[in-house]
Amino acid sequence: MTTDYDIVIVGAGSAGSAIASRVSEDPNRSVLLLEAGPDYKDPGGTPFDLINGHNNSYRDHDWGLSYSPTQGRNMPLPRGKVTGGSSAVNTTIALRGIPEDFDEWDDCGNSEWAWEKVLPAFKRLERDLDFPHADYHGDAGPISIRRYPEAELLEQQQAFLESARSLGYPYCEDANAPDSTGAGPHPMNKLGRMRVSCAIGYLAPARARPNLTIEANTFVRRLIVDRDRCTGVEVERENGTIERVRGQSVVLSAGAIMSPAILKRSGIGPRRELEKFGIDVIRDANGVGGNLCDHPALAISCVAKDSAIIDTDQPLIQTILRYTAADSDKRNDLQIELLSFGGNREGNASFAIAAVLEYTFGRGELRLASADPHVAPIIENRFCEDDRDARRLASCFRDTLAFAEAPPLANMIEKLAFPNLDRGIDDESILKLCKERSGSGYHPCGTARMGPKENPDSVVNEFGQLHGLANVLIADASIMPSVPRANTNLTSIMIGEKIGEWLRASPSIYGF
């Protein structure tokens, strides 16, 4: 090991980029940011799929992972492999979790993550262009956020909001207000069609700092552990060369899939699983890879009467409905979104209405398939195996069918391509669909959950320190004890903001 840094950050995604930016504000701290994918330093030379905030980038900068949503099925799981991580390839939805989400984290023994303590980080990360003076919004952060005004809504998106009103849902002008509920414009981190990823918002202003080094196309194979301390990481360069890089501390920000996979390859995980692949066990940690949370979803596909309204060069999503299931004590546990195009395998011009379960009781897991770092892990979500989840998603799916019958949206629909109503549909058949056909909202989290060390399922403490290896931190979606009732990107950035600020301003928390 010849290269030595104060902090080595693994993963330049939503959280890792924020941490690198915040910690490197201290000129006396040397920071190395490692990214497995490419790095585009100049926005002018950035590929269109990363700049285009109107739609996701599914292939060109992707890890090529797959997951099993329900038994017997296997589907792609898009994850960004580029500086900016999934913030560089996603749908640019900038939605916060609601206060109750973070108070539940507090209830799990993580008092630093109660709502009143995460709100300052949410405000610090954003530049809200619509509500800059609200007490709960920020106006000077690196991530620009705006909502589509009514004049910019596509015809089907505007019809969705009008149908929501006719169905009795309240209008919501700001879905990021703490007490918000109802239908309205989606908060989004893009300007025009330009995606404001963490590579643009956080890394671009920090690149000139001499104490920040960004090394792209560098794959982290495992942590290097000597007794009770991590001394660095083993990396594989683009040309296949394997090297070791030394760091006084290591921050895993590789995401909810790759962070637990790296831990397991390093000998930190369930003993039986590690021994199966001949991995020396450094710490028997049953929580690593468990507690996999996500948002199960199921959509109806609507063939449009007028094919002219379907334009794949327009925004995929502009609006949102958040509401609470009947007889549920979990506020905003359901979500409905209209996807401006897609959802029909027959190729007809169509759009989709997606039912999404935002509060879940069920959990999945992530397991190694091999000790080989290049073999993707096994991801099993087990959606809707918990009956409480299945029944609430089914009720949400029934509500999407009500939208298809409510003018003015109903007037735009020729027929439903899915489900086939000619075969008949009732409560039991909808429940069966949810159990057999639901898929991921692409918000995996929870696979290295934070909590007190007395909890055998927790992996890190509330400051992100790995139990039993204090100079290793985890800072990404994997430490979330539960999935927030929102798309997870903004919460992941918030995690990076909080831990990055602790590392910069309060390093004594971590013993340095």
What's residue 1's pLDDT?
A: 43
Indicate if 428 and 458 belong to the same structural domain: no
CA–CA separation, 155 and 118 (whole Å): 37
Cα dihedral: 403, 404, 405, 411 (round 10): 110
User: Residue 138: phi, psi to the nearest 5?
Assistant: -105, 155
116 occurs within a structural domain: no
What's residue 227's pLDDT?
A: 85
- Looking at the structure of the chain, the number of domains it has is 2
Indicate if 42 and 175 belong to the same structural domain: no
Q: Helix, strand, or coil here: 260? A: helix
The end-to-end CA distance of the chain, in Å, is: 21
- The CATH number of whichever domain residue 341 belongs to comes to 3.30.410.40
Q: Side-chain half-sphere of 287: how many Cα atoms within 13 Å?
A: 22
Indicate if 321 and 469 belong to the same structural domain: no
Indicate if 333 and 429 belong to the same structural domain: yes
- Which domain range does residue 254 map to? 4-48+196-291+445-510
Indicate if 425 and 321 belong to the same structural domain: yes
CA–CA separation, 68 and 72 (whole Å): 7
Closest CA to 69 of 294, 287, 335: 294
CA–CA separation, 190 and 238 (whole Å): 31
Q: Helix, strand, or coil here: 95? A: coil
Indicate if 32 and 175 belong to the same structural domain: no
Indicate if 237 and 266 belong to the same structural domain: yes
Six-digit token string for 203: 């890394």
Q: CA of 303: how far to CAs of 19, 248, 339, 438, in Å?
A: 45, 57, 12, 20
Closest CA to 68 of 423, 380, 504, 409: 380
Examine the fold and report which residue of 392, 409, 436 is the final residue of a domain before the chain moves on.
436
Indicate if 287 and 301 belong to the same structural domain: no
Q: Helix, strand, or coil here: 391? A: helix
Beta bridge partners of 378: 367
328 occurs within a structural domain: yes
83 occurs within a structural domain: no
Indicate if 347 and 463 belong to the same structural domain: no
Any idea which residue has 């020396």 for tokens? 280
121 occurs within a structural domain: no
Indicate if 333 and 432 belong to the same structural domain: yes
Examine the fold and report which residue of 412, 436, 460 is the final residue of a domain before the chain moves on.
436
Any idea which residue has 């309205």 for tokens? 184
Please give the chain's pLDDT, 512 residues, in tens.
446 999 999 999 999 999 999 999 999 999 999 999 999 998 788 999 999 999 999 889 999 999 999 999 999 999 999 999 999 999 999 999 999 999 999 999 999 999 999 999 999 999 999 999 999 999 999 999 999 999 999 999 999 999 999 999 999 999 999 999 999 999 999 999 999 999 999 999 999 999 999 999 999 999 999 988 999 999 999 999 999 999 999 999 999 999 999 999 999 999 999 999 999 999 999 999 999 999 999 999 999 999 999 999 999 999 999 999 999 999 999 999 999 998 665 667 999 999 999 999 999 999 999 999 999 999 999 999 999 999 999 999 999 999 999 999 999 999 999 998 888 899 999 999 999 999 999 999 999 999 999 999 999 999 999 999 989 999 999 999 999 999 999 999 999 999 999 999 999 999 87
CA–CA separation, 133 and 289 (whole Å): 41
CA–CA separation, 341 and 347 (whole Å): 11
Indicate if 475 and 458 belong to the same structural domain: yes
pTM of the model: 0.97
164 occurs within a structural domain: yes
Alpha-carbon torsion (384, 390, 396, 398), positive or negative:
positive
Six-digit token string for 492: 């992941």
104 occurs within a structural domain: no
128 occurs within a structural domain: no
The answer to whether 343 and 332 have CB atoms below 8 angstroms apart is: no
Any idea which residue has 């334009």 for tokens? 311
230 occurs within a structural domain: yes
Indicate if 398 and 332 belong to the same structural domain: yes
Closest CA to 248 of 3, 12, 497: 3
The answer to whether 269 and 288 have CB atoms below 8 angstroms apart is: yes
- The CATH number of whichever domain residue 266 belongs to comes to 3.50.50.60
